[in-house]
Amino acid sequence: MPLQTLAAVHATHDIHQGPHVVKQGWHGMIVNSFPNWSSTTYSVEFIPEGVPGATVTMSGLTEADVQPD
């Protein structure tokens, strides 16, 4: 079953996209989902640890990248 929009999640491993890196265990929230015939991808807004007020949004993530908190 796909994860729901606005669900709290955490990164299951370090994720690299361009200049951005999300570390394993960082928490975030699903802000959008993109279902297709074989799977669903997600856009997730992560909150970096130790950087108050900052967020990092990554798209194209799967359930292998994020899991519910």
Supply the pLDDT for residue 9.
Answer: 98
Per-run averaged pLDDT (10 residues), the chain, 69 residues: 92 95 95 93 93 92 96
Q: Which H, E and C letters describe the chain, residue by residue?
A: CCCCCCCEEEECCCEEECCEEECCCCEEEEEEEEECCCCEEEEEEEECCCCCCCCEEEEEECCCCEEEC
Spatial contact of 41 and 65, defined as CB atoms under 8 Å apart? no
pTM: 0.91
